[in-house]
């Protein structure tokens, strides 16, 4: 760990002492929230800049240590307007903590699923585009590709102006661009946002798993409802499936109207729905890279008719999709070439597998 921190000192994050963090947070007087790895507290630097301090639990040393290195080693080396900024960290024999910029309006999920849905649809579209830009930076613009593994509304934070920033890099993994194979032990992410390849033993897990998760987020923005399915009966009313059925029947506009989206926003909502259908394709190779997702959502490129998604999910049953240990991913650029050719409905690897079974 000390060797890791010495290397890190060459980059941006500042190493704070435990006493400094105690002073910054007024002895941890205001807790913002808690999670599996620790609690988050509100604080402030002496110059008045507001911060959020995540104090990692010491009980689970291995897991907490891995999360600490994942967050500091990835987001600590990057800077983008759509990524939450890591100011610094604290690490000693008594505590591990991460110091982030403070995001005034919290996470996107409470505005999508809470009682007070105070964000207008135009702003939601801006949030979706900004989030896509943050993920595109991680995938395509960093010196080493960063796979987030846990894209969901709860990890999209909003500042005082509701400007979005991707957060929580505790599961993130760096991937050298010239590598062909990197092992991943166990599953990563949140149920409801997992890409279907996590359910297949020894199937490559690429950075396109983030694209799938982002597609699920888009469905939730359009419908303002969660996509989680906990029972077979619920799968009949699974919103992403409903979007595809309406699109297939040429009734996407009617569905947008049913979602309560005003006429002035319907064109963007339809584009977002079609982008979500592309992102949620079973085959990773069929999913567009995030830079193309941004262009499609902004209207910069034509959105071609998407093939039918969710074939694999419904062939095995919605509640049977669970990740398996020992997965791996490839950092090859081959799948991106799909999106710079003519996009036509072809039989993907997943469809071949389903047909043969």
Counting DSSP H helices and E strands in the chain, the numbers are: 12, 12
User: Based on the number of CB atoms within 10 Å of its own CB, is 156 exposed (0-12), middle (13-18) or buried (19 or more)?
Assistant: buried
Per-residue buried b or exposed e for 142-151, using 16+ beta carbons within 10 Å of the residue's own CB: bebbbbbbbb
Q: Can you tell me the distance from the alpha carbon of 108 to that of 295, in angstroms, rounded to the nearest whole number?
A: 22
Compute φ and ψ for 55, nearest 5 degrees. Answer: -100, 115
Q: Can you tell me the distance from the alpha carbon of 318 to that of 32, in angstroms, rounded to the nearest whole number?
A: 34
CB 84 within 8 A of CB 167: yes
CB 274 within 8 A of CB 302: no
Selected catalytic residue, list 150, 168, 210, 336: 150
**Long-range CB pairs of 119-127, under 8 A, 24+ apart, other chains included:** 119/162, 121/261, 121/262, 121/265, 121/268, 121/269, 122/265, 122/268, 123/162, 124/221, 125/221, 125/265, 125/268, 125/269, 125/272, 125/297, 126/164, 127/156, 127/158, 127/162, 127/164, 127/221
**Long-range CB pairs of 3-10, under 8 A, 24+ apart, other chains included:** 4/69, 4/73, 5/91, 8/72, 8/73, 8/76
Is 237 in the active site? no
Query: Is 116 assigned a ligand-binding role in the annotation?
Result: no
Q: Can you tell me the distance from the alpha carbon of 122 to that of 261, in angstroms, rounded to the nearest whole number?
A: 10
Residues taking part in catalysis? 150
Binding residues: 54
Binding residues for ATP: 54
């Amino acid at each position: 760990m000390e060797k890791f921190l010495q290397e890190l000192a060459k980059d941006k994050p500042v190493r704070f002492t435990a006493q400094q963090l105690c002073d910054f947070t007024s002895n941890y007087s205001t807790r913002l929230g808690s999670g599996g790895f620790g609690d988050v507290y509100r604080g402030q630097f002496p110059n008045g800049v507001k911060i959020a301090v995540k104090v990692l639990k010491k009980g689970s040393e291995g897991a907490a240590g891995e999360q600490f290195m994942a967050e500091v080693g990835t987001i600590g080396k990057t800077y983008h307007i759509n990524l939450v900024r890591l100011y610094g960290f604290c690490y000693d024999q008594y505590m591990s903590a991460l110091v982030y910029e403070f995001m005034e309006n919290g996470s996107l999920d409470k505005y999508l699923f809470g009682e007070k849905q105070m964000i207008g649809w135009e702003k939601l579209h801006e949030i979706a585009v900004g989030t896509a830009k943050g993920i595109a930076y991680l995938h395509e613009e960093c010196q080493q590709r960063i796979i987030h593994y846990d894209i969901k509304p709860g990890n999209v934070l909003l500042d005082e102006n509701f400007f979005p920033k991707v957060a929580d890099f505790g599961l993130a993994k760096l991937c050298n661009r010239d590598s062909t194979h990197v092992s991943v032990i166990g599953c990563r992410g949140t149920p409801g946002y997992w890409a279907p390849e996590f359910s297949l033993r020894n199937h490559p897990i690429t950075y396109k798993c983030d694209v799938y998760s982002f597609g699920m987020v888009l469905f939730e923005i359009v419908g303002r409802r969660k996509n989680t399915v906990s029972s077979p009966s619920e799968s009949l009313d699974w919103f992403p499936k409903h979007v595809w059925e309406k699109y297939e029947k040429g009734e996407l506009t009617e569905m947008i109207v049913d979602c309560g989206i005003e006429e002035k926003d319907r064109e963007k909502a339809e584009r977002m729905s079609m982008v979500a259908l592309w992102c949620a394709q079973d085959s990773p190779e069929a999913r567009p890279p995030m830079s193309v997702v941004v262009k499609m959502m902004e209207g910069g490129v034509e959105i071609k008719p998407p093939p039918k998604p969710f074939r694999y999910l419904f062939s095995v049953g919605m509640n049977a999709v669970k990740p398996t240990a020992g997965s791996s991913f490839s950092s090859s650029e081959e799948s991106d070439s799909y999106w710079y050719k003519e996009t036509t409905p072809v039989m993907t690897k997943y469809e071949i597998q389903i047909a043969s079974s």
